[in-house]
Amino acid sequence: MTVQPSPEARPLYNLIYEALREHLLDGSFPPGLVFGQSAVARAFRSSRVPAAAALRRLKEEGLLKTFAGDGLLAWSDETKKPLRMEFLDAGLRLPHLVAGGVDVRNYHGRIYPQVEHTIAALLAFGRFLVNETALAGHYGVSRTVAHEVLTRLERTGLIVRESNQRWYAGPLTTDRLRNHFEMRWLLEPQALGQSMDKLDQKIVAQRRAHVVKAAKQRFTALRLERLESEFHVLTVLHCANEQMVDAIRRSQLPLIPTHSTFALTARDDELGRMLNDHLEIYDLILAGRKSAAMSALENHIRRGLNPNIERLRNIGGLPDTLRPPFLTLAD
């Protein structure tokens, strides 16, 4: 099960491709306009890699064609005078992400959450080689941007760079799963205790209402993961101790996204118990009962360990439809 990315998280080459395609189809550009990688990159304030990927796709679709000079022309152009000019001067209407001042050269900041989630959700299936070049190609970014994403992932502990200079993710073993749960039941109650004095009661009440609503709906991986994030991340980690928050997040990252992996194998009574636990703790937070809320949170996390170990042991193989092209199973 996958999560549809927001417009901000789409691969950059898709954003460029869609914008140029719209202009080509409605005939917005002047006849003979040359589509070159550098000119497209300048217009969208990107590197040449996503620009090249977008142009290649437009050519494959028959909207652009080669000619005697450098670059590409619109397929319908019969002019003998190629026109080279800046795309903004040629009438390019920039997408709102670019026109609004977003620097797409910092695109790693927008693709990072999607890459992080994808890798974390698949750790239970084994050990993976993370291909930097394939990652860059998949998202239409430069290898420099891909490297920045992987370096940031390494700092979270999700991946490691081994002596052969290759990046690896996983596996999430039962021992590692147990260690992450132990870190969480030791530290999350302390974080919640520090957070309770700072939490906005109205926001807590809204999050409680989300749980009540979800209990009446069909369970889905995305819905459960959002509830987990609202509770364990936005509520529990609303404290000022940054070192403790960082330590907890390192143990949450491999676990919370596994709802995308485990949700379909969980029993309804287990999922119902999870929601009831959240409701109980939200009620204790709203009542200002700090010690009781901390104790209930510890018990909630402890109860989650054994069912998750059982699912990990029986997860089976990774469906090809869930594996992105930048991950390959390592021996």
CATH number of the domain that residue 254 is part of? 1.20.120.530
Q: Is pLDDT at 172 greater than 80 in this prediction? A: yes
Q: Is pLDDT at 292 greater than 50 in this prediction? A: yes
At which residue do the structure tokens 């609202």 appear? 230
Residue 134 domain-assigned (yes or no): yes
Separation CA 154–CA 159 (nearest Å): 5
pLDDT value of position 195: 96
Residue 244 domain-assigned (yes or no): yes
Residue 328 domain-assigned (yes or no): no
Residue 87 domain-assigned (yes or no): yes
Tell me: do 183 and 308 sit in the same domain. yes
Tell me: do 178 and 282 sit in the same domain. yes
Separation CA 75–CA 5 (nearest Å): 31
Count up the domains in the chain and report the number: 3
Q: Where are the beta strands (DSSP E) in the chain?
A: 64-66, 72-74, 128-130, 159-161, 167-169, 327-329
Q: Is 271 exposed, middle or buried (0-12, 13-18, 19+ CB in 10 A)?
A: middle
Residue 97: enclosing H or E segment and its boundaries? Answer: helix 96-99
Q: What residue numbers bound the domain in which 231 lies?
A: 174-313
**Domain containing 73 — which CATH number?**
1.10.10.10
Tell me: do 29 and 100 sit in the same domain. yes
Separation CA 20–CA 91 (nearest Å): 11
Residue 321 domain-assigned (yes or no): no
Q: Is pLDDT at 111 greater than 90 in this prediction? A: no
Collapsed DSSP state (helix, strand, coil) of residue 33: strand
Tell me: do 167 and 178 sit in the same domain. no
Question: What is the pLDDT averaged over residues 306-311?
Answer: 90
Tell me: do 189 and 258 sit in the same domain. yes
Residue 116 domain-assigned (yes or no): yes
Closest CA to 260 of 188, 207, 322, 313: 322
pLDDT value of position 7: 44
Other CB atoms within a 10 A radius of the CB of residue 188 amount to 23
Phi, psi of 25 (to 5 degrees): -70, -35
Tell me: do 187 and 288 sit in the same domain. yes
Residue 282 domain-assigned (yes or no): yes
Q: Is pLDDT at 78 greater than 70 in this prediction? A: no
Question: What is the pLDDT averaged over residues 154-181?
Answer: 94
Q: Sheet holding 128-130: strands in order across?
A: 159-161, 167-169, 128-130, 327-329
Residue 143 domain-assigned (yes or no): yes
Phi, psi of 47 (to 5 degrees): -80, 175
CA angle 317, 321, 324 (to 5 degrees): 95
Tell me: do 221 and 301 sit in the same domain. yes
Residue 306: enclosing H or E segment and its boundaries? Answer: helix 290-313
Phi, psi of 65 (to 5 degrees): -145, 160
Percentage with pLDDT > 90 across the chain: 44
Percentage with pLDDT > 70 across the chain: 87
Tell me: do 287 and 198 sit in the same domain. yes
* pLDDT digit string, tens, across residues 219-241: 777 788 889 999 999 999 999 99
Cα radius of gyration rounded to whole Å, the chain: 24
Residue 160: enclosing H or E segment and its boundaries? Answer: strand 159-161
Cβ atoms of 298 and 193 closer than 8 Å: no
Tell me: do 241 and 284 sit in the same domain. yes
At which residue do the structure tokens 């636990």 appear? 277
- pTM: predicted TM-score of the whole model, two decimal places: 0.68
Tell me: do 164 and 181 sit in the same domain. no
Q: Within 13 Å, how many C-alpha atoms sit on residue 301's CB side?
A: 27
Rounded alpha-carbon distances, angstroms, from residue 236 to 245, 300, 314, 325: 9, 13, 30, 35
Tell me: do 83 and 127 sit in the same domain. no
Tell me: do 41 and 68 sit in the same domain. yes
Last residue of a domain, one of 56, 78, 105: 105
Q: How confident is the model at residue 265 (pLDDT cuts 50, 70, 90)?
A: low
Separation CA 119–CA 2 (nearest Å): 12
Q: Which residues are paired to 180 by β-bridges?
A: none
Closest CA to 36 of 67, 14, 9, 76: 67
At which residue do the structure tokens 């992932």 appear? 153
